[in-house]
Structures are given as structure tokens and as C-alpha cells.
DNA sequence: GTCATTGTTGAAAGTGATTATCAATATTCT
DNA sequence: AGAATATTGATAATCACTTTCAACAATGAC
């Protein structure tokens, strides 16, 4: 199987883009852990490793990573998107706690069938889907007054 | 069945909030059409009807409308959320064209079962889900070089 | 390898949706 | 009515993200 770096090289070649060490550094960091990430976190992770990558370079790369299928948007929270690398992974969906943000990944079968049905019924060319299931995790449903896990920042949405 | 206004009155009473004519004006406008809306569109619709409601009042109301179950986020596009009223409507999901924004609504059965399964498997209290299916509509998949619908004017979103 | 072309970079400034501030006002409760 | 306090609109602030631009560097042709 091709590495994510090779996939991106092919993508740039095909699209007339250019590959750079900065971009490969970012991609490597994205695939270094399985964590979801946002731009700021990614920027700080790189900074901590003494990689001098500017935020605009990250912002500029993200649309290409989405288009090349290396990453996808995982969810929108705290005023910005959180992403995850998906190349080399099975498609999965998220079950999220509305209170503490705890996220569980799960596979779903029924949706493959649904895509086909929708494609036929509405004459769409279906390329994918995004399913989020919301609720309260075991801790949060039992004791809704306990301190929030992610405290210091309410799950308030802002830009 | 209670009206959306009555639902909101009960909500404010229960939460120690206050109801105001501004809030009822906003809610009535949201339920006046079945269109998806964003804050700016809603503000302009009210303005056109000579209702003097400030944008902050709309922004401040939205979290309450979400919490009371009168509206929900439909999708995030062009840098902001688009909402839809849901009180009095069956739950539905969206099939969206990635190119022109055309949106089709559909009902899905398999997901009710999925919610129950997830609740049991992960001990979550599941409160809801959001499913978006993406692809290209009949027009956009056939001739991907035709002018975008959005270029002509505002894309007619339907419920 | 050299060279021309042109995409990319980082710093800085700009954009725009959303939120905070605050004094005036209005709602709710007693 | 009167006290308590939530809401309003105008305004300023915030902050995620984009644009600008000059220096730089990846790519491909020769
Ligand atoms: Mn994930
Ligand atoms: Mn809808
Ligand atoms: Zn939780
Ligand atoms: Zn389309």
C-alpha cells in the first residue's frame, strides 16, 4: 500500500501542484497519531517539535488533503472544524457526548445500502456521507453536575 | 398540538428566561416558511418586513431554540451554519450536491435501530443523530463544467 | 546542470461571523 | 406598584480563516 506521502505526491503531480518539505512535514505529523486534530493543535504539535510551519501553510494544505482523501472533517466544535486522517482506515462514524465531548468511533453497515438507494431514487452520484450520533456518555448521563472533562472551555460554539 | 410560540413560552418559564416580543417575532418568521435559513438571511427577512430586530438578538436566541428543540443545525456552509425549524416535523436527513448545493430531504429507518444498538453497546444515552449524504445531483454529475447554480443568484434551498 | 516558469512560504494585514459590553428598557414575580 | 434581573440594540472586540506580497523553491524543458 502506498504511503500517505506517496499518495500526496501523486496528487500534486496530477493536479499541477507542487510538493514541499513543509507539506510533507505536516502530513507526517497528521499521520503520526490517530488523534483528531484542529489547525491550532496541529500547529502547536509541529511547533513543539521545532518544525517551523506557519498556520497559513496548514490552512492552505487542508483543502488539498480533503480533496486527495487523506483527511476528512470529523466534527465542528468550539468554532472550528476538527479533522482526522482517513487514508488507510475503514470509514467510520462518531458517537459523541454532548456534554464532555467524549467520542467513540463505530462502523455502520446499513449506510452503504442507503447510499445506493438514494443514488437510484434521486439520480445522484453519491460520494460519501457523514453520520454523527449524539448523546450522553456513561459518566455524563449519570452525574450531569460533575465537572466537565474539557473544562475551561464550554462546548459553546463560536467563531 | 402546541404552537411553537407556546413551546417557547414553556421553555422560558421552565428555564427562568424571559419571553419578549422580539423573540416571538423571530420564531414566527422562522416558522413562516419551510426554507433553511442562516442568521443573515433571517435578519434580512425580518428587516424587509419592517421588524426591527438586531442581529445579536437573533444570535442570542439561537442556542435557546436549539435547546428547546424548535430548530436544528441543517448544515455548515460558506463559513456559517444553516438552520431549519423542526418542531412539528418528522426527523429527516439531507442529500446534498457538493457542487451546486441542491438539497434533498429523505427519511431513513435503519438509523432508529442503530441508535438503540449504540446506546446499548456503549452505555450512552442517545439523543439524536445527524446524517448528511454527499454527492452530485443529476445536472452536476452530467455536465460538471456548466455554470454553478450559486453563480446565478442564491441557491434555492428546500426543506 | 541551467534556466524560466510559476506554485509555495511566512509575515502581516484584512475579512467576516459571532460574541462581549453596557446602559436603557422590559419582563416576571411578589 | 415596585424590586429584581433578563433582554435589547449599538458598539466594540474576538478569533478563525483568508488574502497579500515579496522572497524563495519545485518542476519541467533544454
Ligand atoms: Mn474518528
Ligand atoms: Mn431540511
Ligand atoms: Zn460525557
Ligand atoms: Zn448540483
**Rounded distance, CA B134 to CA A62, Å?**
19
Together in a domain, A155 and A96: yes
Per-residue pLDDT, A145: 57
CA of A97 to the centre of ligand 3 (A): 5
DSSP A58-113: HHHHHHHHHHHTSEEEEEEETTEEEEEE-TTS---EEEEETTT--EEEE--SHHHH
When CB atoms are compared, the residue of A104, A122, A137 closest to B104 is A122
Together in a domain, A29 and A41: yes
Measured between CA atoms, the residue of chain A closest to residue B59 is A158
Together in a domain, A57 and A45: yes
Record the pTM: 0.88
Q: Which of B55, B89, B123 is the C-terminal boundary of a domain? A: B89
Per-residue pLDDT, B146: 54
**Rounded distance, CA B150 to CA A128, Å?**
22
Together in a domain, A126 and A60: no
Measured between CA atoms, the residue of chain A closest to residue B104 is A122
- What parts of chain B have a pLDDT lower than 50? 149-159
Together in a domain, B2 and B79: yes
Together in a domain, A145 and A76: no
When CB atoms are compared, the residue of B76, B126, B136 closest to A135 is B126
CA of B43 to the centre of ligand 3 (A): 35
CA of B106 to the centre of ligand 4 (A): 17
Q: Given an 8 Å threshold on Cβ–Cβ distance, is B135 in contact with A125?
A: yes
CATH of the domain at A123: 3.30.1490.190
Q: Which of B71, B89, B107 is the C-terminal boundary of a domain? A: B89
- pLDDT tens digits, chain A, 159 residues: what are they? 999 999 999 999 999 999 999 999 999 999 999 999 999 999 999 999 999 999 999 999 999 999 999 999 999 999 999 999 999 999 999 999 988 889 999 998 878 889 999 999 999 999 999 999 999 999 998 875 555 544 433 333 433
Q: Given an 8 Å threshold on Cβ–Cβ distance, is B126 in contact with A132?
A: no
Which of chain D's bases lie under 7 Å from a protein CB?
6-11, 14-20, 25-28
Question: In what helix (H) or strand (E) does residue B127 lie, and over which residues does it extend?
Answer: strand B125-136
Per-residue pLDDT, B121: 96
Domain count, chain A: 2
Q: What is the CA radius of gyration of chain A?
A: 18
DSSP A21-54: HHHHHHHHHHTTS---B-HHHHHHHHHHTT----
Together in a domain, B1 and B68: yes
Per-residue pLDDT, B137: 94
Together in a domain, B136 and B84: no
CA of A105 to the centre of ligand 3 (A): 14
The answer to whether the beta carbon of residue A15 comes closer than 7 angstroms to any atom of strand C is no
CB-CB contact of A28 with A71 (8 Å): no
- List, for residues B148-158, the tens digit of each pLDDT value: 544 433 333 33
Together in a domain, B47 and B75: yes
Q: Which of B62, B89, B116 is the C-terminal boundary of a domain? A: B89
Range of the domain at A25: 1-89
Which of chain C's bases lie under 7 Å from a protein CB?
7-12, 16-21, 26-29
Per-residue pLDDT, A148: 52
Q: Given an 8 Å threshold on Cβ–Cβ distance, is A134 in contact with B115?
A: no
Per-residue pLDDT, B145: 55
Together in a domain, A101 and A39: no
Together in a domain, B23 and B47: yes
Residue A31 CA to C1 C1' — how many Å? 36
Together in a domain, B75 and B2: yes
Count Cα neighbours of B39 within 13 Å in the Cβ-side half-sphere.
17
Q: What are the cell numbers at B121?
A: 453497546
Amino acid at each position: 500500500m502506498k504511503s500517505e506521502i506517496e499518495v500526496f505526491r501523486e496528487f500534486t503531480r496530477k493536479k499541477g501542484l507542487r510538493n514541499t518539505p513543509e507539506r510533507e512535514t505536516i502530513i507526517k505529523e497528521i499521520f503520526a497519531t490517530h488523534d483528531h486534530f484542529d489547525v491550532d493543535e496541529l500547529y502547536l504539535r509541529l511547533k513543539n517539535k521545532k518544525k517551523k510551519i506557519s498556520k497559513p501553510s496548514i490552512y492552505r494544505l487542508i483543502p488539498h488533503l480533503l480533496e486527495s482523501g487523506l483527511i476528512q472533517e470529523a466534527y465542528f466544535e468550539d468554532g472550528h472544524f476538527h479533522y482526522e486522517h482517513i487514508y488507510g482506515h475503514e470509514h467510520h462514524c462518531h458517537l459523541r457526548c454532548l456534554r464532555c465531548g467524549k467520542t467513540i468511533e463505530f462502523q455502520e453497515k446499513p449506510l452503504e445500502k442507503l447510499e445506493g438507494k438514494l443514488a437510484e431514487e434521486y439520480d445522484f452520484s453519491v460520494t460519501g456521507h457523514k453520520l454523527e450520533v449524539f448523546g450522553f456518555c456513561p459518566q455524563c448521563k449519570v452525574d450531569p453536575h460533575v465537572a466537565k472533562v474539557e473544562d475551561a472551555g464550554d462546548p459553546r460554539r463560536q467563531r
